[in-house]
């Protein structure tokens, strides 16, 4: 079955450290890729998305992600994290094979130490 894997369930970093959260999906073909974020006590919200074009996409709050088709990956990056980045991050994929329903990763809880 098609799946989305997020390699790290918990990540703890200090402020100003660089961040990379991994996301891999299991099926080829044309895909749409998303990262959503859930800050403590807040709604899930879109962080960034890739549909086509430049594989390096930029989102809110200084986040970016790179789509590497050959590796079936869409890793999330931020060069210097802040305490306010503490949140849970979800990678999601949809495509024709999922009837355009989002297939979600299990999420990564990120804790930034001040």
Partner 1 sequence: KAGVTQTPRYLIKTRGQQVTLSCSPISGHRSVSWYQQTPGQGLQFLFEYFSETQRNKGNFPGRFSGRQFSNSRSEMNVSTLELGDSALYLCASSLDGQTGANVLTFGAGSRLTVL
Q: State which residue, 18 or 61, has the beta carbon closest to partner 1.
A: 61
CB of 79 to partner 1, least distance (A): 25
> In the range 52-91, which residues lie near partner 1 by CB under 8 A?
90
Q: State which residue, 49 or 77, has the beta carbon closest to partner 1.
A: 49
CA geometry: angle at 52 spanning 110 and 65, to 5°? Answer: 20
Residue 111 binding partner 1, by CB under 8 A: no
Q: State which residue, 107 or 112, has the beta carbon closest to partner 1.
A: 107
Q: State which residue, 17 or 88, has the beta carbon closest to partner 1.
A: 88
The Cα 9–Cα 51 span in angstroms is: 26
Please give the DSSP secondary-structure letter assigned to residue 102.
P
Contacts of 16 (CB under 8 A, 6+ apart): 80, 81
Contacts of 71 (CB under 8 A, 6+ apart): 24
Under the rule (CB under 8 A), what is the footprint of partner 1?
9, 31-32, 34, 36, 43-46, 49, 51, 90, 94-96, 99-102, 104-107
């Amino acid at each position: 079955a098609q799946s989305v894997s997020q390699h790290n369930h918990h990540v703890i970093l200090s402020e100003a450290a660089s961040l990379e959260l991994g996301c891999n999906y299991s099926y080829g073909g044309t895909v749409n890729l998303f990262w959503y974020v859930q800050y403590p006590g807040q709604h899930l919200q879109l962080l960034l998305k890739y549909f086509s074009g430049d594989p390096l996409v930029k989102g809110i709050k200084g986040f970016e992600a790179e789509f590497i088709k050959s590796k079936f990956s869409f890793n999330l990056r931020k060069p210097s994290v802040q305490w306010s980045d503490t949140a849970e991050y979800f990678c999601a994929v949809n495509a024709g094979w999922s009837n355009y329903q989002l297939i979600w990763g299990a999420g990564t809880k990120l804790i930034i130490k001040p």
